[in-house]
């Protein structure tokens, strides 16, 4: 569901005539009410795409909302054929390959058995649907971030029995990109990563395809991935991609746990059932109920056939597990006759817990509260507990909070470019899914639903993509870089308690976890100034990170005017016109350059600097006067370590803001000193 504050931008936009694209590793469920075209006019004539592929055997029907559903599999099929041939030769290739033959694989359907494709596409641009909830939570009207957008869906990855989440070939990635560019899309939303371990843009088909798209004026938005809280794991590192992390919002699905000693803990739930009576039930830790034939680890996580039925029947059971395992654990406890489940992940200390699609009364606790429950069990002869009925709570504080799983910087490959760029709601996002499989994806679960709350940077990405689509509809002349800049420089860095946005563990979030800040759609409509970039600026950036002119040609199509592009004799990647300044390897002093373009009324902007601890920051000039829209001004920023040797082990953060009394154009600053033994670094 989109936040209510998006109404302003919807009203301002009226009805946008645009096309929108979702690149997916799963299919689509066009029958969803979220893809209704009620009230929409004819498809714009500039759209060149077609509805489906000729071999589509479901006879899918497009409408004025969902205008295209395509699939790309030649690269995948070729790989499968090669594996099949190798198997015939008794050869072992790669991961030993995959337990089925290409001839048995059905490439002719776009069914979305997992729901990821339908959920993310409807999050970006789904129509208004009334009376929606996720197991009774968050009841209301669901809609995408850009509910009047046209939608197209391109499937480019394919599921394998031995590789959950899909298998993707570079050829299929690039074919999907090129088709989408030809068809005339405006926005690319990619809730998918290339999972490239080489950490090079040259080997990343999403980066290559994305640059082709950006050259045509198409905005690309990508997920940072769910690899947090480990640092340096953010995906989509290229500066032409808007990389999105995930946060909580001020709506929570909560349940309270009451213990026999009257302790009461707030937790999170998605359980649709409640305990039958308002009374205390026996409480047991799963390890204390393990079968002798199993391991402590299996019992701890409440695995199948790991617990003694006689010791859990009629009781509330505490499981310590990864939250992704909660649904399966609840099914096992239901089979054994348990009445409820308490779960927590001891590897996370965070404030971003959320309920999964469990089948019995359940509550997920933070690590500290879960540990307190175990202490109560260990110190009590007959521990008892009661799980109160879950409810939807609004105006939760603090919010937003960065999700523990959200991909984090600094960028592994290009630390001078801030990643993530921005965060957006990505926890308990209610959107459409197909009723083809149970929400737990377990055979024992007989439930089928049309809408569900999910979490992930996959959910946050289409929120930003939808807002980018609205901005594109309002400002058709803005470049992808201008839209990225508008989103970043207007992002919120304070939460709803007027304090700095916090990370999942309660510490202050840094730009490497929250990016420029939290998405602020209404401010992004009118950013005042933008940090723009043209296609040649991206080519210069590639030169700056070490690619030569021959390698850079890989990023350009054959008919590019830049086919004879030559790298400049001297170019520093620190001068790339990004809406943030990150200096990862500073030696003494460095001066960087930035250019801002006025996209508003004439005005005078004054600079405001919050210096990183131990760093001096000087800006020249300190005032920028703009007489007309489209006018550009250059300013320089000199960064200096005040006391060498103090910032070798960690970054210090600050900000630079241009303010005309109406607009606040904020850029993050991050500085880390070069190690003393390192002769290289950034210096004047």
In the chain, the domains with their CATH numbers are 6-89+115-126+138-249+400-524 (3.40.50.200), 252-393 (3.50.30.30), 534-571 (no CATH), 576-676 (2.60.40.2310)
Determine the Cα angle at 571 with ends 567 and 575, to 5°.
130
Q: What pLDDT is recorded for position 562?
A: 60
Determine the Cα angle at 199 with ends 197 and 204, to 5°.
85
Q: Is residue 355 scored above 70 in pLDDT?
A: no
Arithmetic mean of pLDDT, 296-324: 93
Arithmetic mean of pLDDT, 665-683: 75
Burial of 379 (0-12, 13-18, 19+ CB in 10 A): exposed
Q: Is residue 548 scored above 90 in pLDDT?
A: no
- Total residue count of the chain as it appears in this document: 684
Average pLDDT, the chain: 87
Helix axes 205-215, 170-183, angle to 10 degrees: 10
Nearest-angstrom CA–CA distance, 420 and 224 = 7
Arithmetic mean of pLDDT, 369-394: 96
508-524 pLDDT per residue, tens = 999 999 999 999 999 99
- Measure Cα distances from 211 to 220, 532, 548 in Å: 9, 15, 17
Arithmetic mean of pLDDT, 334-349: 88
Tell me the pLDDT band of 16, cut-offs 50, 70 and 90: very low
Q: What pLDDT is recorded for position 164?
A: 47
Arithmetic mean of pLDDT, 282-307: 96
Which has more confidence, 410 or 94? Answer: 410
Task: With beta carbons less than 8 A apart as the criterion, state whether 119 and 431 touch.
Answer: yes
Least confident range from 56-70, 154-168, 467-481, 586-600: namely: 154-168
Q: Is residue 84 scored above 70 in pLDDT?
A: no
Tell me the pLDDT band of 47, cut-offs 50, 70 and 90: very high
Reading phi first (left if > 0) and then psi (alpha if -120 to 50, else beta), residue 441 is in left
Q: Please list, in sequence order, all residues whose beta carbon lies within 8 angstroms of the beta carbon of residue 106, skipping any fewer than 6 positions away.
A: none
Indicate the helix (H) or strand (E) that contains 541.
Answer: helix 535-544
Q: How many CB atoms lie within 10 A of CB 274?
A: 16
Q: How many CB atoms lie within 10 A of CB 241?
A: 27
Q: Is residue 496 scored above 70 in pLDDT?
A: yes
DSSP state of 500: B
Nearest-angstrom CA–CA distance, 476 and 453 = 33
Nearest-angstrom CA–CA distance, 286 and 344 = 12
Nearest-angstrom CA–CA distance, 312 and 317 = 7
Longest CA span, the chain: 80
Q: Is residue 67 scored above 60 in pLDDT?
A: yes
Q: What pLDDT is recorded for position 646?
A: 82
Q: Please list, in sequence order, all residues whose beta carbon lies within 8 angstroms of the beta carbon of residue 678, skipping any fewer than 6 positions away.
A: 585
**Cα–Cα nearest to 119, from 229, 46, 209, 26:** 26
Q: Is residue 348 scored above 70 in pLDDT?
A: no
Tell me the pLDDT band of 677, cut-offs 50, 70 and 90: very low
pTM of the shown model: 0.91
Q: Is residue 4 scored above 60 in pLDDT?
A: no
Pair of tokens at residue 532: 């723009």
**Cα–Cα nearest to 193, from 230, 234, 141:** 234
Tell me the pLDDT band of 100, cut-offs 50, 70 and 90: very low
Q: Is residue 292 scored above 70 in pLDDT?
A: yes
246-282 pLDDT per residue, tens = 999 999 999 999 999 999 999 999 888 899 888 999 9
Nearest-angstrom CA–CA distance, 62 and 59 = 10
């Amino acid at each position: 569901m989109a936040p209510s504050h998006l109404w302003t931008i919807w009203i301002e936009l009226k009805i946008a005539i645009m096309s929108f694209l979702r690149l997916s590793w799963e299919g689509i469920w066009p029958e969803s009410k979220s893809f209704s075209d009620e009230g929409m006019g004819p498809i714009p004539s500039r759209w060149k795409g077609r509805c489906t592929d000729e071999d589509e055997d479901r006879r899918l029907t497009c409408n004025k909302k969902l205008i295209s559903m395509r699939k790309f599999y030649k690269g995948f099929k070729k790989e499968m054929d090669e594996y099949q041939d190798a198997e015939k030769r008794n050869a072992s290739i790669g991961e030993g390959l995959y337990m089925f033959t290409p001839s048995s694989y059905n490439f002719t359907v776009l069914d979305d058995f997992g729901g990821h494709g339908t959920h993310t596409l409807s999050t970006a641009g789904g129509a208004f649907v009334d009376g929606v909830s996720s197991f009774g939570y968050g009841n209301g009207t669901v809609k995408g971030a850009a509910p009047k957008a046209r939608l197209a869906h391109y499937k480019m990855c394919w599921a394998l029995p031995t590789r959950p989440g899909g298998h993707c070939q570079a050829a299929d990635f690039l074919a999907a990109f090129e088709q989408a560019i030809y068809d005339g899309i405006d926005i690319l939303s990619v809730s998918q990563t290339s999972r490239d371990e080489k950490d090079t843009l040259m080997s990343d088909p999403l980066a290559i395809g994305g640059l082709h798209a950006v050259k045509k004026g198409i905005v690309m938005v990508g997920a940072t991935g769910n690899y947090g809280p480990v640092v340096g794991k953010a995906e989509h590192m290229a500066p032409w991609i808007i990389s999105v992390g995930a946060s909580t919002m001020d709506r929570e699905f909560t349940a309270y746990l009451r213990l026999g000693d009257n302790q009461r803990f707030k937790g999170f739930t998605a359980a649709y059932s409640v305990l039958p009576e308002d009374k205390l039930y026996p409480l047991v830790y799963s390890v204390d109920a393990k079968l002798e034939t199993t391991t402590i680890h299996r019992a701890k996580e409440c695995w199948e056939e790991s617990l003694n039925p006689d010791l859990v029947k009629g009781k509330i059971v505490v499981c310590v597990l990864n939250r992704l395992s909660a649904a399966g654990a609840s099914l096992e406890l239901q089979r054994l006759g348990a009445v409820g489940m308490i779960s927590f992940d001891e590897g996370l200390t965070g404030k971003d817990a959320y309920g999964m699609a469990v089948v019995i009364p359940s509550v997920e606790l933070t690590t500290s509260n879960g540990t307190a429950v175990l202490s109560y069990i260990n110190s009590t002869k007959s521990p008892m507990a009661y799980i109160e009925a879950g409810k939807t709570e609004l105006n939760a504080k603090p919010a937003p909070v960065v999700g523990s799983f959200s991909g984090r910087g600094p960028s592994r490959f290009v630390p001078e470019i801030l990643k993530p760029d921005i965060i957006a709601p990505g926890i308990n996002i209610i959107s459409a899914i197909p009723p083809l499989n149970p929400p737990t994806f377990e055979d024992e679960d007989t439930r089928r639903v049309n809408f569900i709350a999910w979490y992930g940077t996959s959910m946050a990405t289409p929120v930003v993509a939808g807002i980018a689509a609205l901005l594109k509809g309002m400002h058709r002349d803005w470049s992808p870089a201008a839209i990225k800049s508008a989103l970043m420089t207007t992002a919120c860095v304070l939460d709803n308690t007027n304090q700095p946005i916090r990370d999942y563990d309660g510490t202050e979030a840094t730009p490497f976890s929250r990016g420029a800040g939290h998405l602020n759609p209404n401010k992004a409509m009118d950013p005042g100034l933008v940090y723009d970039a043209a296609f040649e600026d991206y080519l210069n950036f590639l030169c700056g990170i070490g690619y030569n002119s021959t390698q850079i040609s890989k990023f350009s199509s054959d008919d590019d005017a830049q086919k004879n592009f030559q790298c400049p004799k001297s170019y520093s990647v620190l001068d790339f016109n990004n809406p943030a300044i990150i200096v990862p390897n500073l030696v003494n002093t460095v001066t960087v350059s930035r250019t801002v373009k006025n996209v508003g009324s004439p005005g005078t902007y004054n600079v405001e600097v919050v210096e990183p601890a131990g760093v001096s920051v000087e800006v020249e000039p300190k005032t920028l006067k703009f007489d007309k829209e489209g006018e550009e001004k250059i300013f320089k920023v000199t960064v200096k370590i005040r006391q060498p040797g103090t910032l070798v082990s960690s970054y210090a953060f600050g900000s630079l803001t241009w303010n005309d009394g109406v607009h606040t154009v904020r850029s993050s600053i991050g500085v880390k000193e070069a190690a003393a033994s390192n002769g290289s670094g950034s210096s004047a």
